[in-house]
Structure 1
Amino acid sequence: MGNNWFDRWIFESYQPTIQGLALFRIFASLLILFFLMPDAAYYTDLASFPDDFFTPPPGPMMFFDSFPPAWFFYSIHVLLALSWICVLIGFKTQKASIAAAIFMLILLGFIFSIGKVNHQMLIILLPLLMAFSSWGGAYSFDAGLSGKKTKANGWTLTLLALFIGFMMFTAGFPKILGGWLNGDTFATQGHLLNQYFIRGRTELLSGYMVSMNIPLIWGILDWGTVFFETGFLIAVLRAGWTRLFVCFAVFFHFSTMLTLNIAFLVNFPAYAAFLPWGKIHESIASLVDLNEKPYTIPLVFGGALFCLFGIIKIIDKMYLLTPTREPSFDELALISGAVLIVLTLGLKKAIGLFSSVRTQSV
Structure 2
Amino acid sequence: MLDRAGAAIDWISEGYRPAARPLAALRIVFALYVLVWPRDISWLATMSATGFDPPAGPFSLLPGPAPATAIHVLEVLRVVVALWLLIGWKTGIASGLLALILVVCSGLAYSFGKSDDVILFDLAPLMLGLAGWGSAWSKDARLGSAARPRGFPMFVYATLIAFAMFTAAAAKATTGWLLPTRQATRFFVVVTADSPRSGLLADTVLRFDNAVFWKALDYATAFVEGWLVVAVFIPILFRVGLVLMGLFHVGVWLLLGIDFHLHAFVYAGFFLVPPACYWRELALLRNVRTRLARPVAVIPQGAS
- TM-score normalised according to structure 2 size: 0.84
| 8 Å contact kept, 2:162–2:229 | yes
In 1: Cα distance, 2:192 partner to 2:36 partner: 28
Q: Does 1:157 find its partner at 2:154? A: yes
Alpha-carbon deviation of 1:195? 1.4
| 8 Å contact kept, 2:12–2:235 | no
CA distance change for structure 1 residues 267 and 169 in 2, over 3 Å: closer, same or farther? same
In 2: Cα distance, 1:43 partner to 1:169 partner: 31
Which residue identity does 2:44 align to in structure 1?
A: Y
- Runs (4 or more) in structure 1 with deviation over 6 Å come to none
Task: Spell out the pairing of 1:1-362 with structure 2 (5 A cutoff).
Answer: 1=1, 2-35=4-37, 37-46=38-47, 49-50=48-49, 52-144=50-142, 146-148=143-145, 150-197=147-194, 199-276=195-272, 278=274
3-state SS, counterpart of residue 99 of structure 2 = helix
Structure 2 stretches lacking a partner, 5+ long: 276-281, 283-304
3-state SS, counterpart of residue 226 of structure 1 = helix
Structure 1 stretches lacking a partner, 5+ long: 280-348, 350-362
Which residue identity does 2:56 align to in structure 1?
A: P
CA distance change for structure 1 residues 211 and 104 in 2, over 3 Å: closer, same or farther? same
| 8 Å contact kept, 2:78–2:101 | yes
In 1: Cα distance, 2:137 partner to 2:57 partner: 36
**What do the CA deviations read for 1:155-191 (whole angstroms, capped 9, x no partner)?**
1111111111011001111111111111111000001
| 8 Å contact kept, 2:170–2:226 | yes
In 2: Cα distance, 1:274 partner to 1:30 partner: 20
CA distance change for structure 1 residues 98 and 149 in 2, over 3 Å: closer, same or farther? closer
Determine what percentage of the aligned residue pairs are the same residue.
29
Aligned residues: 276
Alpha-carbon deviation of 1:19? 2.2
Which residue identity does 1:42 align to in structure 2?
A: W
Which residue identity does 2:46 align to in structure 1?
A: D
| 8 Å contact kept, 2:183–2:214 | yes
In 2: Cα distance, 1:13 partner to 1:4 partner: 14
Alpha-carbon deviation of 1:15? 2.8
| 8 Å contact kept, 2:45–2:66 | no
Q: Larger radius of gyration, structure 1 or 2?
A: 2
**What do the CA deviations read for 1:42-90 (whole angstroms, capped 9, x no partner)?**
23323xx12x322112332122110121121111011112212211221
- TM-score normalised according to structure 1 size: 0.71
Alpha-carbon deviation of 1:112? 0.6
Alpha-carbon deviation of 1:277? 5.6
Alpha-carbon deviation of 1:225? 0.4
